[in-house]
Structure 1
């Protein structure tokens, strides 16, 4: 593993300043860039550790606080170990934040994040990769669809509501995606029933998107998040293997 350096950075957007975490190999040279999208719990020590692990594999990784319009991270106070069922009031705070980030705002913010990476001497020239978790998996699809020429690879893990009947459903972005796509679904995830898994797969296939979608047996929504009760070590390591394989093929 390469030695890494992590720093807090601020990213100008059309609607203010997004605080973010940047992790990169410590050699100071440009490396392929990865934009990592948070789950609902937001930018916190565990996501920084995930970024550091990716940076150790040779990538420059940016993790924005996508809720920046509501304040700097942590926007909602979080315990060190997150048990959502034990803290229902946490969802009362988080749900309005999640709903306020519309596909239009997400795509606009993505442009700012991509511009910031393009200007960074630590990011290699050319398109970037995306990876996202829970709600971040939806943001991956919105970003890859809105900025197809700037995204070479797109991965999502334990995403929910990926293929709804709504007019803004994330799966509708498939028609505009040119990146290679990998998604790892959790089969114990009530937010992504089997019919949505099938609809999502069909949308990618019909759009001609190079992709692989896999269902992780026994895994819960949130299986990669080691600071939560949903964590599943076996599924998490499978996620790392799939993600790094995608990045290796891309870069």
Structure 2
């Protein structure tokens, strides 16, 4: 796999990003991979490289670029339960500043960048997100149904809220096929049912699951939440979804 760091022009500046892709001189479908709240780091590069190995051009933008280039936080090699609260406290201002308006402005820039890369095949893209990235993936798909054919979110952030802009209310705008792999405890059975009902009512193809024996962050091998079984299930769901929906 080839990897490169790059800068993506946006209306607010330049987003630093990582790309991973097969080094074979061919064009491959594009995948936009949204980070979790802790941001770009070796684990995300590792996951991007693994996904690229299945025949995709994977773009991982640093969504908090307005606050400075990554890394914004000095992260330990392993994020345990003791370290987590202080890290969340540091990152929360960046998270709160990342408004829906910024999400959609940036999404247009990321999708435009993928469309312009010579290594990326014509056709729709997939959008994958972890933690808060799961919500960003859904918002991106709703805003650009013409460009997004697959949405996957793993241990996603709050997909259902009581607010008027709750992500699940975007379902009628989504034409992509959707999979959310949800950690035990991240949603009540009632919330999980409401999410599925919203997608079904909108005619959105989906295969959401609550992954048994997992906790929030289960794909992140550099944290205490890591679940090898949950991560394997995540690949078992993600790779067929992309294969079904993106042109090879």
**d(CA) in 1 for partners of 2:86, 2:93:** 12
**d(CA) in 1 for partners of 2:210, 2:179:** 11
TM-score (structure 1 length as normaliser): 0.95
Match of 1:107 among 104, 107, 113: 104
**d(CA) in 1 for partners of 2:82, 2:33:** 26
State the shift of 1:178 in Å: 0.4
What does the per-residue CA deviation read over 1:102-141, in whole Å, with 9 as the maximum and x for residues that have no partner?
1221011000000000000011111100110010000001
Match of 1:43 among 40, 48, 51: 40
Q: CA RMSD in A?
A: 1.0
State the shift of 1:188 in Å: 2.9
Match of 2:233 among 238, 243, 250: 238
What does the per-residue CA deviation read over 1:26-82, in whole Å, with 9 as the maximum and x for residues that have no partner?
112210010000000101110001000011111000000000010111111111111
1:130 aligns with 127
More off after superposition, 34-43 vs 198-207: 198-207
State the shift of 1:96 in Å: 1.3
State the shift of 1:90 in Å: 1.3
TM-score (structure 2 length as normaliser): 0.96
State the shift of 1:87 in Å: 4.5
Match of 2:50 among 50, 53, 57: 53
1:86 aligns with 83
Taking structure 1 as reference, are residues 84 and 74 closer, same or farther at Cα in structure 2, changes over 3 Å only? farther
Runs of 4+ with >4 A deviation = none
State the shift of 1:101 in Å: 1.0
State the shift of 1:196 in Å: 2.4
Match of 1:63 among 60, 63, 86: 60
> Is residue 2:101 matched to residue 1:96?
no
Taking structure 1 as reference, are residues 193 and 100 closer, same or farther at Cα in structure 2, changes over 3 Å only? farther
1:204 aligns with 199
> Is residue 2:3 matched to residue 1:6?
yes
**d(CA) in 2 for partners of 1:105, 1:84:** 30
2:155 aligns with 158
- SS of 1:124's partner is coil
- SS of 1:90's partner is helix
- SS of 2:197's partner is helix
**d(CA) in 1 for partners of 2:128, 2:167:** 15
What does the per-residue CA deviation read over 1:122-164, in whole Å, with 9 as the maximum and x for residues that have no partner?
1111110011001000000110001110001111111121111
- SS of 2:48's partner is helix
Preserved CA contact (<8 Å) 1:162 1:196:
no
Q: Which has the higher strand share?
A: 1
Match of 1:149 among 146, 150, 164: 146
**d(CA) in 2 for partners of 1:233, 1:188:** 18
1:220 aligns with 215
